[in-house]
Amino acid sequence: MSGMKSLMGDTALYGLSSILARVLNFALTPLLTVVLSKSEYGVNSLLYVSIAFLMVILTYGFETAYFRVSQKAGADEPTVYSTAMWSLLASSLLFLAAMAWVYVPAAELLRMGDRPELVLMMAWIVAMDVVAAVPFARLRAQRRAKRFVAIKITQIAVNFILCYAFFLILPQAGFWLPDLQVGWVLIANLAASAAMIFMLLPEFFAMQRRFDVGIWKTMLAFGLPLLLAGLPGVANEMADRFFIEYLMPLGEAKEAVGTYSAIYKLS
């Protein structure tokens, strides 16, 4: 009975963080639709759709693979965890290095060629969220729900508070760079992701200098099908923004994406 109560308590905590995330993200929509132009909100939407796709690709199913492999009878959990972490850290660093090289062409591909710095900020957000995926999975596997939720809520709260501060308080204080626009949203997200990484440092320090190729291959064999299954799910949910962007005339596309995305969020 005590085990059931503990499970129900953990489930309630995970549900709380998920609900709070949805509520606060929804609460940001009225702010961003007021302070950003339609085209700027369209840029914001396209960047976050790109983040969703990149998260699926760059975690390559290792969050779930960690659960699967570490829970097997006789599994050496510290080695499984360390192998997964070294893999994600290495691929994330390679991703950042690649983006530092191609961020200008990537911005042009997204039709944001005049603002390539947004793509660089997006890449850092993705990298931080990717390397946090397995530590969060480990917290859940170890049933450390309170710590999991505390970190998630802190991340959400930092992003929410900074967005409101950047757009409502800084202009009144005379410290405002109007050309940044969507850049302020990404800076808030970067700060929130940095706060998350800071709170997860004990989990990073728990990594060992171990990398088991056999375990890595097992995790990859389990994770890659999840990647392939995840991409259509994200595409079904979000790819419509890209269709609007690339099928409409260049001068109208961003505004159309912004209008569509705002209505989609509020509906």
Does any domain span residue 256?
yes
Asked whether the beta carbons of 84 and 65 are under 8 A apart, the reply is yes
Whole-angstrom distance between the N-terminal and C-terminal Cα of the chain? 41
Does any domain span residue 211?
yes
Could you give the number of structural domains in the chain?
1
Does any domain span residue 111?
yes
pLDDT of 121: 97
Does any domain span residue 6?
no
Does any domain span residue 80?
yes
Range of the domain at 127: 59-266
Phi, psi angles (nearest 5°) of residue 131: -70, -15
pLDDT of 74: 83
pLDDT of 185: 95
pLDDT of 232: 93
Does any domain span residue 46?
no
Structure tokens that stand for 195 in this block: 């706060």
Does any domain span residue 218?
yes
pLDDT below 70 — which residues of the chain? 1-10, 176, 178
